[in-house]
A and B are shown apart, each in its own frame.
Chain A
Amino acid sequence: MALFRSAPIAPLEYTRKLWMRGWVGLTMLFLYAPLLVLMVFSFNDSKRNVVWKGFTLKYYEKALNNDSLVEALVNSLTIAFLATIISLVIGALAAVMLWRFRFPFKGLVEGTMSLPIIVPEICLGVAFLIFFAKVEWPTDLMWPLNLSAITIAHITFCFPFVAMVVRARLASFNKEEEEAAKDLGATEWQAFRDVLLPHIQPGLVAGALLAFTLSLDDFVITFFTSGPDTITFPVKVYSMVRFSVTPEVNAASTLLILLTVILTFIALKVQGVKGITETH
């Protein structure tokens, strides 16, 4: 008896209340059930999605043999990789600029920089479509230069996010630490490298993760920026979904979900659960 008897619920232990647990459980079910069903049925030996007919990897084989799908995936990862690195540099510079200096029109610059975050994706997509048409950006370049327009667009909406995250981290920096380093004989550059950089490192990791997922996730802006020969994974999946729901898409999607989960766990290893959840 005593084994199963738990203490009465204290007033603030809301999480121990049954309806609360049910609520959270149902919400999690709502969030995860579609993804889990999709992943499970990517192994289903049936064209139709609902009935389990046996385990198979043939749709993975099909997906990986689908040249245009693989090309789209490679394109997406390349763009995400490039956009992350460049956004990280530009975003960190922007964060340091706003954190450290006082300069004319600072409010204007700051406000403009937050616009790519606020402006609806569709408007940004339209703007890039018109812009690249107007400047007659070449569309027939060889790989990977043919991805340049999309990459530029991605950097433009990623780097303000990086700047935001890094700046939040900078705000908690104690300038006395930097002064202490200088007091102990460090040069400006050494103080930056040994004191400031380690402090903002979690912000940089979080910013990189955010930029990578944003870039990989983006459909709308890419949809407007991509030329006829430059297809990314979301654009490819979109066109496949428009035609019909095929198990191939399930398989490819499962691979991308796994990539997200792996990235998340790498980030967890680097920063710990708390680090990740606190920087957001």
Chain B
Amino acid sequence: MPETKQPIIQIRNVSKRFGKVTAVDNISLDILAGEFFVLLGPSGCGKTTLLRMIAGFEMPTEGQIIIDGQDMSLVPPNKRPVNMVFQSYAVFPHMNVTDNVGYGLRIAGVGKGEIRDRVAEALELVKLGGFEDRMPDQMSGGQRQRVALARSLVMRPKVLLLDEPLSALDAKLRAQMQFELSDLQDKVGITFVTVTHDQDEALSMASRVAVINKGEVAQLAGPSDLYEYPANRFVADFVGSVNIFEGKLTLDEPDKAAVDCPGLGKIYLNHGVTGPHGADVWVALRPEKIYLHVPGAGKAIRAAAQDAPDGHNLARGTIKGMSYLGDITLYEIQLEGGQVIRVSRPNLSRHDQEDFTWDDKVSMHWRADSPVVLLS
């Protein structure tokens, strides 16, 4: 599907340096019309700088940004076909809701009647009908954010930029707004570009995510690909929780591969990885993809792990820590080699968390399609 869409924003070899600090380092990427694009990364990775360059508040040191086919290098922010929802919302404190939302239209010289209609429509869209005369300091953070959203949407921009839109909201409201934002984007059909440091937010809302690290794109993929097929250790570690072990590639054929990890054991995969034989690689294994067994259940394990040759994808250890989180229980297990691995286990029935406890010796296995081999 995305192949048929046109890029609305083209970022071409853009770099931004502040003095000696490089905030954005030669990034190139296309954002397609109508998609919900998320820039994800830790704080200080350059994602906000990139967003601000799209909006026109920062100028690229090198490279160019093309929006809707037009080079933006010399276009000031007030002439760009994009609008932004600020992290602090930047709702004008001296204007009521109507004046805030109508501000851009007034500046553009739109007629009074049309302003009234479009403001009402925008307020309806963000569910703020009835708040027309409120001043910003009489509103909650969530409501102010809706004002900021309506204020931008009323301009009918080609692209809506959102800077950490949910960071200032409490957990419950955040979850609700995630759904609402996705919904809204569906309804208005405008391209959304969002910056966030929160991986849950990115995975739940985005159609595509660019993970940014130290000013570079670490991976550009859809949410599930990002989680299941991380391209490198940074992405594997930043998106979700993961166990990473160093190893050597001992077998690499089109339909199978094996890695010898001194810390974990022999690992077998049911697909090739195209790495040089004998290379140093890393194996990433998500905690929820590891099965726990009581020792002595040897037969059951062998039955479960029959998609790998004998002695592969198995490990033994001692439970050194556990935390009960309600839906799952998280275990820290010390392997025989001394390293610690994290395993999560769904509490499918009420007493599941009682199966294993501190200092229990346990066995583990995982399926041959679970580990991910990372070359960098």
Which residues from chain B contact A10 at a C-beta distance below 8 Å?
57-59
Q: Is A12 at the interface (CB under 8 A from chain B)?
A: yes
A7 touches B61 (CB 8 A): yes
Number of A-B contacts (CB under 8 A): 15
Q: Is B240 at the interface (CB under 8 A from chain A)?
A: no
Which residues from chain B contact A11 at a C-beta distance below 8 Å?
56-57, 76-77
Closest to B77 in A: A11
Q: Report the Cα distance A73→B60, complex, angstroms.
A: 58
Q: Is A108 at the interface (CB under 8 A from chain B)?
A: no
Contact of B74 among A7, A8, A12 (CB under 8 A): A8
Cβ of A63 to closest chain B Cβ, rounded Å: 47
Binary interface encoding of chain B residues 38-77 relative to chain A, with 1 for a CB under 8 A from any of its CBs, else 0: 0000000000000000001111110000000000011011
Contact of A7 among B56, B57, B59 (CB under 8 A): B59
Secondary structure dominating the interface of A: loop
Q: How large is the interface on A (under 10, 10 to 19, 20 to 34, 35 or more residues)?
A: under 10
Closest to A13 in B: B59
Binary interface encoding of chain A residues 1-26 relative to chain B, with 1 for a CB under 8 A from any of its CBs, else 0: 00000011111100000000000000
Show 15 residue pairs from A and B whose CB-CB distance is below 8 angstroms, ordered by the A residue: A7-B59, A7-B60, A7-B61, A8-B59, A8-B73, A8-B74, A9-B59, A10-B57, A10-B58, A10-B59, A11-B56, A11-B57, A11-B76, A11-B77, A12-B57
- Residue tally, chain B, CB below 8 Å to A: 10
Which residues from chain A contact B60 at a C-beta distance below 8 Å?
7
Which residues from chain A contact B56 at a C-beta distance below 8 Å?
11
Closest to A2 in B: B62
Cβ of B77 to closest chain A Cβ, rounded Å: 6
If A10-B57, A11-B57, A11-B76 are given as contacts, then 12 extra A-B residue pairs at C-beta distance below 8 Å, sorted by A number, are A7-B59, A7-B60, A7-B61, A8-B59, A8-B73, A8-B74, A9-B59, A10-B58, A10-B59, A11-B56, A11-B77, A12-B57
Which residues from chain B contact A7 at a C-beta distance below 8 Å?
59-61
Q: Report the Cα distance A175→B58, complex, angstroms.
A: 42
Q: Report the Cα distance A8→B73, complex, angstroms.
A: 9
Cβ of A17 to closest chain B Cβ, rounded Å: 13
Cβ of A12 to closest chain B Cβ, rounded Å: 7
Q: Report the Cα distance A8→B61, complex, angstroms.
A: 8
Closest to B61 in A: A7
Cβ of A271 to closest chain B Cβ, rounded Å: 26
